[in-house]
Amino acid sequence: QVQLVESGGGSVQPGESLRLSCTASGFALNNYAIGWFRQAPGKEREGVSCINNRDGSTYYLSDVRGRFTISRDSTKNTVYLQMNSLKAEDPAVYSCAADPDLWACTKRVIKKSYDYWGRGTQVIVSP
Over the stretch 75-87, which tens digit does the pLDDT of each residue have?
999 999 999 999 9
User: pLDDT confidence of 1, banded at 50, 70, 90?
Assistant: confident
In the predicted structure, residue 120 carries a pLDDT above the cut 90: yes
pLDDT in tens, 24-60: 999 999 899 999 999 999 999 999 999 999 889 999 9
53 close to 31: Cβ distance less than 8 angstroms = yes
How many angstroms separate the CA atoms of 27 and 78, rounded?
11
* 29 DSSP 8-state letter: G
Given a contact cutoff of 8 angstroms between Cβ atoms, the answer to whether 2 and 97 are in contact is: no
Predicted confidence (pLDDT) per residue in 82-112, tens digit:
999 999 999 999 999 999 998 999 999 999 9
Non-local CB neighbours of 80 within 8 Å, separated by 6+ positions: 19, 20, 21, 22, 70, 71, 72, 73
